[in-house]
Structure formats: structure tokens, C-alpha cells
């Protein structure tokens, strides 16, 4: 069962990516409907959501993978 913790952690990062991108798209579409500017805010929201996902994912992955664990083994080793 030692594979469950890393798998759950990676699943959480995937949900983080999806949530950031979907929220960016939804916010952009809402702003497009409010100001009647069809593709502009949806594209901006998509790129901002993608940027937030990449920055947050990078920070999370580097913090988790570069932080040494007790026992001297990296976090991903079984």
C-alpha cells in the first residue's frame, strides 16, 4: 500500500490543474456575457487559469520532490 500516498498526491495535483483552468474559462465566459465581448475574456481566462495551474503545480512539485524525506530516500521511491 505504499503506492497509495503518491498516487493520491498526484491525483490532487491533477484536480488542481483542472480546477484552475475550468474556473478561468468559466470566469472569462461570464465576463464575455456581461460585456458582450465573445472570445476575448474567455481566452484571457483560459490563459490565466493555465498560468495559475502551471505556477502552482511547479511550486508544489518542486517542493515535494526536492525536500528530502527522513531516511534519505526521495519521496517517490518505494
pLDDT in tens, 31-61: 999 999 989 999 999 999 999 999 999 999 8
**Pick the residue with more confidence: 72 or 44?**
44
Cell numbers given for 42: 474567455
Taking the C-alpha atoms of residue 48 and residue 53, their distance in angstroms, rounded to an integer, is 9
Residue 52: per-residue pLDDT: 97
Helix 4-35, helix 40-66: angle, nearest 10: 160
- Evaluate whether 28 touches 68 at the Cβ level (below 8 Å): no
Residue 59: per-residue pLDDT: 93
Residue 6: per-residue pLDDT: 84
Amino acid at each position: 500500500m505504499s503506492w497509495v500516498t503518491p498516487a493520491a498526491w498526484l491525483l490532487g495535483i491533477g484536480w488542481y490543474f483542472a480546477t484552475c483552468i475550468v474556473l478561468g474559462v468559466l470566469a472569462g465566459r461570464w465576463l464575455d456575457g456581461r460585456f458582450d465581448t465573445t472570445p476575448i475574456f474567455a481566452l484571457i481566462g483560459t490563459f490565466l487559469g493555465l498560468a495559475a495551474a502551471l505556477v502552482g503545480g511547479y511550486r508544489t512539485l518542486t517542493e515535494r520532490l526536492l525536500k528530502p524525506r527522513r531516511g534519505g530516500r526521495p519521496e517517490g521511491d518505494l
